[in-house]
């Protein structure tokens, strides 16, 4: 099983770093090592781009083979301008290039997002439990841009064992005012914090976050972080 192989690699790395996984740790893993383990790595020399991909690649200065993958991984192209392709993936994520990535991969290859990142996180959680008998949460991450802000940050694209949102709705603030909309994207903040020690080019695809008293749940899904289209003010005009 790829999960066992991946967890063995993670446990070997933690042992080398003299770190033992503990109960209530949060294992933060970049999607790239999960995607590679799941065989979601594509040899671009095998891609025969469609006519649409060739046309769009020419318009937006893209590799036609990569453009073909972007189209296949998307349910909708939301924006395409100045060489930037913003699409909605089959998972419901809105991101650049449908998550198709050529960084940190050898040769003429591209890496796709896991087919079901929540399921991948759940399998990793179960495999850790089986091997070291510890109850942990798992957050699988990817790097996304942000509307109206420069720079990228890690976000959660798959989770297991953790409620991704901490809701304050119905509680009172320090002055007694009722909070109506305050919900903290806990899983995204964990992903972003972990990136500070993982980096982008340091070869550190896994981090352990310890000491945060997160809400455990057996039914968590990253989908609860995705804003419904009817509530999305920026996409209602499309």
What are the structural domains, with CATH classification, of the chain? 1-38+113-230 (3.30.1330.100), 41-112 (3.90.1660.10)
- Binning pLDDT at 50, 70 and 90, where does residue 103 land? confident
Give 189-206 pLDDT, tens digit per residue: 999 999 999 877 677 899
State the first-to-last Cα distance of the chain, in angstroms, to the nearest integer: 43
Interacting residues of 155 by C-beta distance below 8 A, sequence separation 6+: 141, 142, 143, 144, 188, 191, 192
Give me the percent of the chain exceeding a pLDDT of 70: 97
- Binning pLDDT at 50, 70 and 90, where does residue 96 land? very high
| pLDDT, position 204 | 86
Which segment, 93-102, 179-188, 193-202, 221-230, is predicted with the most confidence on average?
Answer: 93-102
- Report, as an integer, the average pLDDT of 122-136: 95
| pLDDT, position 82 | 84
Give 39-80 pLDDT, tens digit per residue: 999 999 999 999 999 999 999 999 999 999 999 999 999 999
- Binning pLDDT at 50, 70 and 90, where does residue 117 land? very high
* Range from 45-49, 124-128, 232-236 carrying the lowest mean pLDDT: 232-236
- Binning pLDDT at 50, 70 and 90, where does residue 236 land? low
β-strands 137-146, 166-167 pairing: unpaired
- Binning pLDDT at 50, 70 and 90, where does residue 91 land? very high
| pLDDT, position 2 | 59
Helix (H, G, I), strand (E, B) or coil at 115: coil
- Report, as an integer, the average pLDDT of 114-142: 96
Instruction: Give me the chain's average pLDDT, please.
Output: 91
List Cα–Cα distances, 215 to 132, 197, 224, in angstroms. Answer: 21, 23, 15
């Amino acid at each position: 099983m790829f999960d066992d192989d991946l967890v063995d690699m993670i446990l070997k790395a933690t042992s080398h770093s003299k770190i033992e996984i503990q109960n209530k740790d949060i294992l933060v893993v970049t999607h790239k090592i999960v995607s590679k383990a799941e065989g979601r790595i594509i040899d671009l020399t095998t891609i025969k781009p469609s006519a649409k991909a060739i046309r769009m690649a020419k318009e937006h200065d893209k590799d036609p083979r990569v453009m073909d993958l972007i189209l296949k991984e998307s349910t909708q192209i939301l924006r395409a301008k100045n060489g930037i392709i913003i699409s909605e993936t089959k998972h419901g994520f809105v991101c650049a290039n449908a998550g198709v990535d050529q960084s940190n991969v050898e040769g003429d290859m591209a890496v796709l997002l896991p087919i079901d990142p929540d399921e991948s996180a759940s399998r990793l959680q179960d495999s850790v439990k089986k091997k070291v008998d510890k109850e942990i949460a798992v957050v699988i991450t990817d790097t996304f841009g942000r509307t109206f802000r420069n720079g990228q940050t890690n976000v959660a694209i798959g989770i297991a064992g953790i409620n991704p949102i901490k809701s304050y709705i119905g509680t009172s603030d320090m002055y007694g005012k009722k909070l109506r909309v305050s919900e903290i994207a806990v899983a995204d903040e964990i992903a972003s914090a972990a990136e500070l020690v993982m980096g982008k080019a340091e070869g550190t695809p896994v981090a352990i976050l310890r000491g945060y008293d997160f809400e455990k749940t057996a039914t968590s899904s990253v989908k609860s972080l995705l804003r419904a289209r009817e509530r999305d003010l920026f996409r209602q005009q499309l």
